[in-house]
Amino acid sequence: MQIKAIYEDGIIRPNVPLKLKKRRVDVTVIIPDDSLGEYKAVEPESLGDRISRILGKYSKSRPASTPAQDKTVWHEHLERKYNSK
């Protein structure tokens, strides 16, 4: 279905009343280029950046390593923890 609507102050209002089966419906809005002001494209945040933002001051960079190196370090940690008696 295609309808006409007006966007004003963050709200999209259809020109005619709609009777929808659901309260929430996904829509696609096409805005004419000549109606747009200047804007900056925002790059999607990477997963690593999101995790760093969540961790805040507890986030720290770690040197790159291979899974084999990670496994070796983990095994060394376990040996120190359980074989230190």
Give the mean pLDDT of 42-50. 86
Dump pLDDT digits (tens) for 33-44: 888 888 777 788
DSSP 5: E
Dihedral of alpha carbons 29, 30, 36, 40, sign: positive
Task: List pLDDT tens digits, range 17-36.
Answer: 889 899 888 889 888 888 88
Alpha-carbon gap, residue 15 to 4, rounded angstroms: 6
DSSP class of residue 14?
E
Residue 11 phi, psi (nearest 5): -120, 135
64: Cα within 13 Å, side-chain hemisphere: 0
Query: Whole-model pTM?
Result: 0.38
Query: What is the pLDDT, as a whole number, of residue 78?
Result: 93
Sort residue 70 into left (φ over 0), alpha (ψ -120 to 50) or beta. alpha
Helix (H, G, I), strand (E, B) or coil at 49: helix
pLDDT of residue 85: 60
The pLDDT tens digits of the residues spanning 53-85 come to 899 988 888 788 899 999 999 999 999 999 866
